[in-house]
Structure 1
Amino acid sequence: MPAIVPGTVLTTLLNNQKIPDPFWGMNNERIADIYKTGSNYYTYWFTKDFKELPTQNGGQVYLNFRGVNYSCDIYLNGHKLNKTIQKGMFLRFSYNITPFLAKNGDNRLAVLVHPPDVVGNPNGGQGGDGTIARNVGLQYTAGWDWIQPMRDRNTGIWDKVTIQKTGAVRITDEHIVTVVSGVRLPEGAQQPAIIKVSASLSNPTAAAVTGLLSFELDGKTISKSVSLKANSIADVSFNDYSLLNPKLWWPNGYGPQNLYNFKLKFAVNGKSVSDQQVLKIGVRQLTSDYNEHTGSRQTYVNGQKIFIKGGNWVISDAMLRLSDTRYDAEVRYHRDMNLNLIRVWGGAMIERPEFFEACDKYGILVFQDLWGSGDCNGRWQDPQKFDDQWTRRKYPDDHGLFLRSAIDQIKMVRNYASLAIWCGGNEITPPEDILTALRDTILPKLDNTRWFVDYSNSDSMSHNELGGNGDGPYGIQPLSVFWEHKTYPFNSEVGSVGVGDYESLKRFIPTANMVPPVYDEDTHKSKVDSVWDYHKYIGYDTSINKYGKAKNAADFALKAQLVNYDQYRGLAEGFTSHMWDWYTGFIIWKTQNPWTAMRGQMYDYYLDPNACLYGLHNGSAPFHIMYNPINGMVMVANNTFKARRSMMMVVKTYDMEGNEKLLTQVFADINATTVKKYFSIKETIDKAAAKEGVFLSLQLLDENKKVITDNTYWIPDSKGAFSGLQKMKTEDLTASARFIKPGKVEVTLVNKEHNPLAFFNRVSLMDADTKTRILPAFYSDNYVTILPGEEKKVIIDYNLPTGQKKLVVGIDGWNGPLTNRVITIEP
């Protein structure tokens, strides 16, 4: 049958309609699990016919594999290329196939792919029975508390296979290091940066070769003469190069993401190009030190202290359907959340170059775990695990394979500006011999410019006064937890809920199972439909009922968005309010889902954002006005390098009818990279909200009276319920939309004076015929509230799907008309 490469056995079987979609309903239960079938059931041949003529004049042809799970035998035209079985999910391997090409150019490649050596029992534990970790591979494939098991354990040729043609000499393991001394700012002329360049050159031919190795950067070419003996490999380094007035790379929110085109090439006798590598490099320097006041590590870029606002990332797709466009969309969403870091969790993989390219583009630092987790690798006693802790502590079985894989993957991604932190593993160090080799030998030699932390919640990263470090809490929290409860000073995992809206739920829940969870306030338990439970629903507890008991699944999902927005705005604001005092950073568990789960996601598997994303977008804004709902303090956070002066702070309330009351209007200023408290309005707000709740509007205006930052809160009544929201009058919002250019639409929302607020409006770009959302689409803001007499604009960026002609914009608000508004987009 036609195979999907890159891909897994399951992706091919799904594409050929041999299995049902495991992401829909309970379909995953209908697919045979490898633990029961045995490995042979998912052992497959992959074959490929391709044209490639034999080379002339010493030219070489290489067959490159970037990832096979888990072991394989490789045949070209009947010749076995590997002497021993090729093993290791995270090892690239390359074969010189020059001698084995067919004379007529008609070649057949055949690869026999075997599943992981140990497939693990998916018994419902974290990583099943834990034995999946005996491999150097993915641990989530045996199931976790946010995913069901992948039945083939992702067996297959899961990453790219390429043919590479060179002359006699080949370039590998190129390494570019940028040194940016001092404390820099994004603007203005810059002192020089130092660029260090090295690479390995191989000459597999029987003759010596002489030539020029050169690199091109910023319009300049630097060359070095190199002689290579026959059948030899040489490491070559250039003298340090001084790049004048460099355009620096900065994390999201702090400055631009400048990238340089960099070309490294080898020319035989200085004329004929034998091989070249083309890269994009960001010029920046990463450093870190320990903040004794907070008790945690802090990160610097180009000498400037960066407050880390991060998201935990598992993998782009649980079935390894990886693509440049999906990576770009997912990382862009993290940029849109106003985050500046992604942590790649240790139960998955070192991410692909295309992921790092997107992080370079959008200014997202990367905290990269190596393979291992506290759950599988023995940190805790666990009755669901097959082996005891002492045995699990020694996983994986093959330490040499782990270290060879680490060396290879470090070389693969070390040139990306976004890569900031290497980590030994998730919540546990690797075994001592692996840790020692990584820390003392491998990283100092291969990549000594990044901070290495031994494990994700290590004391060396973060240590609170109660003793030690950890992570959490997870799940729904009272907002007071985020604002007033001091947790770990650099929390590597803290998070909440994440159910998508009704449109999202329809993508994977059958109609018969569209039954909202019911929370019992006496027993503190939820009654949950089996499909919701299978897709890892996590309880919203009393928070939905505060908006009125859910009438149906659609009503539940709408109210869940209000909770989502409030939770993640509160999380970001609460942590930011204690910047440099309690915290040097936080990393949300988690911001994306690699399958159709119902927890820990700012957008669903199909790349449809929910209100979590926009609550975070608001609460994590680089320059932001905010309100502490516990003590009533109005505050401003400035996560930029610029002080702000002569701003007007305007604080108002609105009742459910839209009646406005000015509480105060004062001039304000704030220094760079700090948070400032102004005054408390607790008494006033409590009084105004007592009967049925109230809206609180915070704004900062510039000298031209234009809004710099604003924030609208909905405050509950004296009983903690949102009784007023349940009785709001229907708003009379005026909406229009126009094309700015292909791929960009502007939506204008206008609320007339003396109207009630137009509360919590979801804007959706849709197909005009089917009324389904265009995915992905990127909104400058969403779930927006428009005050009486106010106008807001939302910009939508999208890639027009093939064959798509007619688009419309849908608007669905909390107190909007019962039938959703659909607006035609004007030319």
Structure 2
Amino acid sequence: MKEITLCDSPWQVKGFWPWVPIKTVSMELGQELLGICEWLPATVPGGVHEDLYRAGLIPHPYKDLNSLQCEWVENRWWMYRTIIKPVNNTGSKVELVFKGLDYEAIVYLDGQRVGEHKGMFTEAVFDVTDRMREEPMELAVLLLHAPDEMGQIGKTSETFTQKSRFNYKWDFSTRLVNIGIWDDVLLRIRQHIKLDDIRIAADVEEADLIEEGRHTGIITVEATIAATIEGAFDSVIISAHCFNPSGQLLYTERLRASCGERVYLEFRVQGAQLWYPNGYGEQPLYSIKLELCSGEGEILEARSFMSGIRKLAFAANDDSPADALPYTIQINNRRIYIRGANLAPLDHLYGTVLDSQYDRMIYMMKRANMNLVRIWGGGLIEKERLYEQCDRQGILVWQEFIQSSSGVDNLPSQKPEFLSLLRESAKAALKSRRNYVSLTVWSGGNELMSAPNKPSTFQDPNLAMLRELTKRHDPQRLCLPTSASGPVQYITEEKGQGHDVHGHWKYLDNPKHYIFYGENDNLFHSEFGVDGVSGVKSLRKFLSEPHLTPVSMKENLVWRHHGEWWDTLERDQRLFGKLEELERFAAASQWVQAEGLRFVLEANRRRKFRNSGSIIWQMSEPWPNVSCTNLLDYYGETKMSYYWTKQAFAPLHVSLDYHSLQVKRGEEVKHGIWLHSHVAGIPLDMNVEVVDARGLVIAVSRYHAVSARDQAVFVGSLTWTAPDEAHELLLVRISYSRDGESVVCYPYFFSAAADEHLYRSSLSLEPPRLDISFIEGWRVTGYEELTELMECRLLVRNLGAVAALHVFAEEATDQYDLDCDELYFTLLPGESRMVAARCARKAAGGLLRQEACETGNQPPQLRIRSFNGHNILAVDRYDH
């Protein structure tokens, strides 16, 4: 088999009123019907919106209210065209393949209709063997207007397409319905016989002997020998070669087969290197090369795959109710505590997403100590690059089929047309994604409910069909009916009802937030979040100058358009008092988001394995929001919650249990200290101190504990009293040393304020005196696909008389994505912290995102500041 990409050819696109490209001439006048625009340069893969913006026919759709002026695009028909150059057809069959047409298309070669296709997630494959010529041919793709599908609010029972629904308006996106060719286009040249329906599966025998290295890894290869043309019934030889992670050939298996036969091959690897999720071990990948040969030895087709070896199982939680599903994932006989994030599509116009953006996103998940990503059912079956990166970085994948709730009703659609499309897209997803070792869970969809707050079950015919398809095509993985999976949809105070739950997505205020989550008994928390405002650096990219002032989304249409559900101004002013400056508002909002999210993560983790994990909503956002529940904003900038999540998810962590942010002077306060680890038997000496914002030490306690593998360890209680002379803002700080490295956890902030404005005093703190010096200047290193990775180390010192709250950095040139070991840390007077910073060239994506990125070849520049401080620009130093 040979594949020739057509994406490198010049493409054009032209818009028409519906049906005009079919009719072409006026019935009354007989004259040509012109398009709504001339032929424009087009990008494939891509989307019409980007091409129109480049041509100046629509405003930048992500800025202010501009997307409202672009909604006409989805209601037109669009014709793409390119020239296919002559190919050397050395095969028996030539197929024209579209991996992603969005959404309904008619395909032409030299003006002759080749066929039609409907659906985003199934390949459109057309036999063009008899149409190929020795001179150039024109390929044209007519995309009909986008179907009028449901957005977030509507009736799930009325859905009728397999089109990504978030495009039609969701709480984190606008209505901007993509239309275009969103994935690769190619010519596939086949011989008369092919390998079909290939399945690579891994398992481990003698798994109880893994620690002794006496286990056996198994890689199973299945494939069907299929004819590509009628009458092909030759006997063939299939060879399978297995290479270890270092590239050395381990085994070769050969067998003879006939057309139509299903073949099975197996490799048994004694003491195999095993694949583990991030934080539990390494991710070695074995290579499998398949060759289909004729009886005379001619290679008819060659395919290559990467596979990790691991044993996958699912178990009930500790103290689990008898009717609960198995929510604990086991890899190689180890229970894996899930530390994950939900992923919506990376861009509203998803055809523009580049491999480098997938690389960056999975890299940032790994850096945040995550081990699972849930690919949400209102979005995409993502491009294969994402799954490849999950295999390499140890990120388990929870993949949902393309269904989601709608609010008015949430019943899975039973429409015959929809079920037919769902069946085909589910089969395509199962067959194409099952060969990735990271894939762990399938789910019927997002928040499907048979009644209010009652998740649908496999009693529903729609979901029963998906379970049967999963059993047939990928029996090794768990299939859940929906997420959440019940017996109630939303997190509840009622004991015994919260199995797999969603919610909440807001900070619940003090003290309710801490009482509610601290006492909850859910088994698995597969979606929840806290909202926070984007950084000012990003806000300036999509908000015009008149809209760069804090305002309620009830009062400003532009802000409402970029995150209506996630208005935090009222919440934040309850805690901080009046917030009139954008920088202060954004910083305060991110503080509350980080605080609220950290508590939920730590409260869940304290119940390990009665609770089997947390999946945050959400990792990123597909379009720029003023405020949202994301950890990374649209432009790739990290919010404060990213770094506090990173520490809460750390393999070794110490947490504080508390039930209110408010303390009364002179009254005793008692907090619990907990030790978390994936590894048993780690002895740890901990230092816990209570200080005020000026560095006054109020209490110091020391603790010793030894970690346990499958449960959190209660270390002891911290008891302290806020004296009258202390500053209103009080910090509890936990630190420990291990292997010569000192770890200072992000502090827990309490307040002795008498009213609800608990953090008001943080706004009146004088600015700290920060001193910044380079220890090592910028130097090029490199990290896998993240090329041009540059690193530096700098020392940040607080020379002032008050704490420097939440010290963070921004990359000032806007040419780089920034990643640090830690940011948003607090320095007391006289303290210093080493910052290790990494910058990679921005994963810009399509033109719409790229426009916001500067061009040039400067070394990175870091702008350092604190919550209560001013900007300080670190002096550049470049070490060659």
Q: Are 2:103 and 1:70 equivalent residues in the alignment?
A: yes
Match of 2:872 in 1: 820
User: What SS is found at the alignment partner of 1:549?
Assistant: coil
Of 365, 387, 409, the match for 1:378? 409
Cα pair 1:695 1:712 within 8 Å, conserved = yes
1:255 aligned partner, one-letter code: G
2:679 aligned partner, one-letter code: F
Q: Alpha-carbon deviation of 1:132?
A: 7.3
Please report the RMSD computed on the Cα atoms of aligned residues, expressed in angstroms: 2.9
Q: Are 2:400 and 1:400 equivalent residues in the alignment?
A: no
Of 721, 724, 736, the match for 2:773? 736
Cα pair 1:637 1:676 within 8 Å, conserved = yes
CA distance, structure 2, for counterparts of residue 703 and residue 617 of structure 1: 20
- The structure-2 alpha-carbon separation of the partners of 1:127 and 1:159, relative to structure 1 and needing over 3 Å to count, comes to farther
Match of 1:587 in 2: 615
Match of 1:87 in 2: 118
Of 262, 270, 275, the match for 1:244? 270
Match of 2:9 in 1: none
- The structure-2 alpha-carbon separation of the partners of 1:108 and 1:655, relative to structure 1 and needing over 3 Å to count, comes to same
CA distance, structure 2, for counterparts of residue 496 and residue 551 of structure 1: 22
Match of 1:384 in 2: none
CA distance, structure 2, for counterparts of residue 242 and residue 138 of structure 1: 41
Q: Alpha-carbon deviation of 1:25?
A: 0.6
Q: Are 2:797 and 1:766 equivalent residues in the alignment?
A: no
Match of 1:476 in 2: 507
CA distance, structure 2, for counterparts of residue 185 and residue 795 of structure 1: 40
CA distance, structure 1, for counterparts of residue 302 and residue 408 of structure 2: 41
Q: Are 2:247 and 1:214 equivalent residues in the alignment?
A: no
1:800 aligned partner, one-letter code: R
- The structure-2 alpha-carbon separation of the partners of 1:789 and 1:286, relative to structure 1 and needing over 3 Å to count, comes to farther
1:224 aligned partner, one-letter code: R
1:808 aligned partner, one-letter code: Q
138-147 or 128-137, which moves further after superposition?
A: 128-137
Match of 1:198 in 2: 222
- The structure-2 alpha-carbon separation of the partners of 1:2 and 1:693, relative to structure 1 and needing over 3 Å to count, comes to same
Match of 1:279 in 2: 305
Q: Are 2:847 and 1:811 equivalent residues in the alignment?
A: no
Match of 1:749 in 2: 795
Match of 1:635 in 2: 673
User: What SS is found at the alignment partner of 1:246?
Assistant: coil
- The structure-2 alpha-carbon separation of the partners of 1:120 and 1:443, relative to structure 1 and needing over 3 Å to count, comes to closer
TM alignment of 1:110-509, pairs within 5 A: 110-116=140-146, 118-120=147-149, 126-127=152-153, 133-150=159-176, 153-181=177-205, 189=213, 191-205=215-229, 208-217=233-242, 218=244, 219-229=249-259, 233-238=260-265, 240-269=266-295, 271-291=297-317, 293-295=319-321, 297-320=327-350, 321-375=352-406, 378-379=409-410, 393-395=413-415, 397-428=417-448, 429=456, 432-440=460-468, 442-459=469-486, 465-467=495-497, 470-478=501-509, 479-481=513-515, 483-486=517-520, 488-509=522-543
- The structure-2 alpha-carbon separation of the partners of 1:11 and 1:489, relative to structure 1 and needing over 3 Å to count, comes to same
CA distance, structure 2, for counterparts of residue 21 and residue 499 of structure 1: 22
2:606 aligned partner, one-letter code: S
- The structure-2 alpha-carbon separation of the partners of 1:674 and 1:545, relative to structure 1 and needing over 3 Å to count, comes to same
User: What SS is found at the alignment partner of 1:325?
Assistant: helix
65-74 or 204-213, which moves further after superposition?
A: 204-213
Q: Are 2:745 and 1:713 equivalent residues in the alignment?
A: no
Q: Alpha-carbon deviation of 1:755?
A: 5.1
- The structure-2 alpha-carbon separation of the partners of 1:269 and 1:660, relative to structure 1 and needing over 3 Å to count, comes to farther
Match of 2:785 in 1: none
CA distance, structure 2, for counterparts of residue 192 and residue 637 of structure 1: 34
Q: Are 2:59 and 1:24 equivalent residues in the alignment?
A: no
CA distance, structure 2, for counterparts of residue 396 and residue 516 of structure 1: 49
Q: Are 2:814 and 1:779 equivalent residues in the alignment?
A: no
CA distance, structure 2, for counterparts of residue 727 and residue 99 of structure 1: 78
CA distance, structure 2, for counterparts of residue 121 and residue 406 of structure 1: 20
Cα pair 1:691 1:718 within 8 Å, conserved = no
Match of 1:572 in 2: 601
Q: Alpha-carbon deviation of 1:128?
A: 5.0
Compute the TM-score of the two structures, normalised by the length of structure 2: 0.83
Q: Are 2:81 and 1:47 equivalent residues in the alignment?
A: yes
Identity of aligned residues (%): 23
Match of 1:5 in 2: 44
Q: Alpha-carbon deviation of 1:689?
A: 9.3
CA distance, structure 2, for counterparts of residue 132 and residue 357 of structure 1: 35
**Which 5+ residue runs of structure 2 have no aligned equivalent?**
1-39, 449-455, 660-668, 782-788, 843-854
Cα pair 1:625 1:634 within 8 Å, conserved = no
1:655 aligned partner, one-letter code: D
Summarize deviations over 1:633-666 as a string: whole Å, max 9, x none.
3433434134202x22111233222244551223
User: What SS is found at the alignment partner of 1:681?
Assistant: strand
Cα pair 1:735 1:747 within 8 Å, conserved = no
Q: Alpha-carbon deviation of 1:187?
A: 7.2
1:139 aligned partner, one-letter code: R
CA distance, structure 2, for counterparts of residue 141 and residue 65 of structure 1: 21
Summarize deviations over 1:598-624 as a string: whole Å, max 9, x none.
211111111111112112112221211
- The structure-2 alpha-carbon separation of the partners of 1:182 and 1:355, relative to structure 1 and needing over 3 Å to count, comes to same
2:818 aligned partner, one-letter code: A
1:313 aligned partner, one-letter code: L
- The structure-2 alpha-carbon separation of the partners of 1:531 and 1:775, relative to structure 1 and needing over 3 Å to count, comes to farther
- The structure-2 alpha-carbon separation of the partners of 1:636 and 1:488, relative to structure 1 and needing over 3 Å to count, comes to closer
Q: Alpha-carbon deviation of 1:274?
A: 2.0
CA distance, structure 2, for counterparts of residue 545 and residue 572 of structure 1: 24
193-202 or 452-461, which moves further after superposition?
A: 452-461
1:762 aligned partner, one-letter code: F
Q: Alpha-carbon deviation of 1:544?
A: 4.0
CA distance, structure 2, for counterparts of residue 47 and residue 301 of structure 1: 48
- The structure-2 alpha-carbon separation of the partners of 1:747 and 1:733, relative to structure 1 and needing over 3 Å to count, comes to farther
User: What SS is found at the alignment partner of 1:94?
Assistant: strand
2:196 aligned partner, one-letter code: T
Summarize deviations over 1:506-550 as a string: whole Å, max 9, x none.
1211110112135xxxxxxx7542211111142333334533421
- The structure-2 alpha-carbon separation of the partners of 1:47 and 1:760, relative to structure 1 and needing over 3 Å to count, comes to same
CA distance, structure 1, for counterparts of residue 342 and residue 495 of structure 2: 25
1:798 aligned partner, one-letter code: C
- The structure-2 alpha-carbon separation of the partners of 1:154 and 1:805, relative to structure 1 and needing over 3 Å to count, comes to same
Cα pair 2:155 2:408 within 8 Å, conserved = no
Of 633, 639, 656, the match for 1:610? 639
User: What SS is found at the alignment partner of 2:841?
Assistant: coil
Report the count of equivalent residues: 779
Cα pair 2:746 2:826 within 8 Å, conserved = no
Cα pair 2:293 2:301 within 8 Å, conserved = yes
721-730 or 592-601, which moves further after superposition?
A: 721-730
CA distance, structure 2, for counterparts of residue 242 and residue 789 of structure 1: 60
2:82 aligned partner, one-letter code: K
